[in-house]
Amino acid sequence: MNPVINGPLYAVVPAAGIGERMGAGFPKQYLSLAGKTLAEHTLNRLLSFAPIDRVLVAVSVQDPWWPTLGVSTHSRIATVSGGAARAESVRNGVTRALELGGENAWVLVHDMARPLVRLSDIQNLLDQTDSQGAILALPVVDTIKQADDGNHIAATLDRDCIWRALTPQLFPARALHDALQGDLAGITDEASAMERVGRRPALVAGHSDNIKVTVPEDLALARFYLACQLGDEENML
């Protein structure tokens, strides 16, 4: 294990969203993908990654579906209350990680909505992090345009230094806990909270199949990528 990670490692899984952009009528983490819910795919992968001590899942207090999942009773899973925003859900999970693991605990924050994360990418994240923490991300390959108020092009950005953030995002629990205090408006990932307090997390290249299932067409894409990962030619078509 990377000596920088000098304490227990907890996965913190924000899973208290309502999936508004998916429009399924229920939270998207309970949509089915190849016979299992997105939540089960995500949790099965995290639970199979040995360096993770426990998985702390932030669940909405109004979520009737969570207890129906068999995995919800797994001995290495604990729940915390989700918040009104993703960052609040994460803050609750990180607080629990500190309570469980003490001041040397580290947290690996991963969206429940990203069911196809590769364990090899998570391992790379652990191997490559430094004391600032690290996130999985991907260099953008398209030309990036900045829009003006009228949705016309205001500028073309230098894409050579533009990456899009994925999850997991890996940080010392205490540092992230403290960075997540106060106003969380505009904090859409853990790295932005850490940047706000002067940290410069490392960027670790992941894979484009680590998609966040967000809008309806993402489900077909997830089905395709899962088939690719499983070498299931029949379902790749």
Ligand X SMILES: C[C@](O)(CO)[C@H](O)COP(=O)(O)O
Which residue ranges make up the site for ligand CTP (CB under 6 A)?
14-22, 28-29, 58, 82-86, 89, 111-113, 212, 214
Q: Is 91 in the site for ligand X (CB under 6 A)?
A: no
- Out of ligand X, ligand CTP, none, what residue 223 binds, judged by CB under 5 to 8 A for its kind, is none
Question: Are 47 and 76 a contacting pair, CB within 8 Å?
Answer: yes
Minimal distance, residue 141 CB to ligand X, in Å: 16
From ligand X, ligand CTP, none, which one binds at residue 165 (CB under 5 to 8 Å depending on kind)? ligand X
Residue appearing with tokens 């899962």: 226
Pick 28 or 174: Cβ nearer ligand CTP: 28
- Both structure tokens of 112: 């429940």
Task: Look up tokens 């205001």; give the residue.
Answer: 154
Region for residue 32 given its phi and psi (left: phi exceeds 0; alpha: psi -120 to 50; beta: otherwise): beta
Instruction: Indicate which of ligand X, ligand CTP, none lies near residue 170 (CB less than 5 to 8 Å, by partner kind).
Output: none
167, interface contact from ligand X, ligand CTP, none, CB < 5-8 Å by kind: ligand X
Please state, in angstroms and rounded to a whole number, the distance separating the CA atoms of residues 237 and 228. 10
Binder among 41, 86, 174, 177 for ligand X (CB under 6 A): 86
Identify what 45 binds: ligand X, ligand CTP, none; CB under 5 to 8 Å per kind: none
Main-chain phi, psi angles of 119, to 5 degrees? -60, -30
Beta carbon of residue 109, minimum distance to ligand CTP (angstroms, whole number): 10
> Taking the complex as a whole, how short is the minimal distance between the CB of residue 48 and ligand X, in angstroms?
21
Beta-bridge partner residues of 106: 9, 172
Nearer to ligand CTP, 5 or 77 (CB): 77
Q: Does 205 contact ligand X by CB under 6 A?
A: no
Cα–Cα nearest to 52, from 96, 124, 118, 105: 105
CB 214 → ligand CTP: shortest distance, Å? Answer: 5
Supply angle C-alpha 187, 105, 186, rounded to 5. Answer: 0
Among 109, 43, 45, residue whose Cα is nearest residue 70: 43
Judged by CB under 6 A, the chain residues 160 through 199 that form the site for ligand X are: 165-167, 188-189
| Distances in whole angstroms, Cα of residue 135 to Cα of each of 49, 60, 163 | 17, 25, 11
Residue nearest to ligand CTP (CB): 17
Q: How far apart are CA 216 and CA 171, in angstroms?
A: 31
210 contact choice in ligand X, ligand CTP, none (CB below 5 to 8 Å, kind-dependent): none
Q: What is the DSSP letter of 77?
A: E
The site for ligand X (CB under 6 A) is made up of: 86, 111, 165-167, 188-189, 212
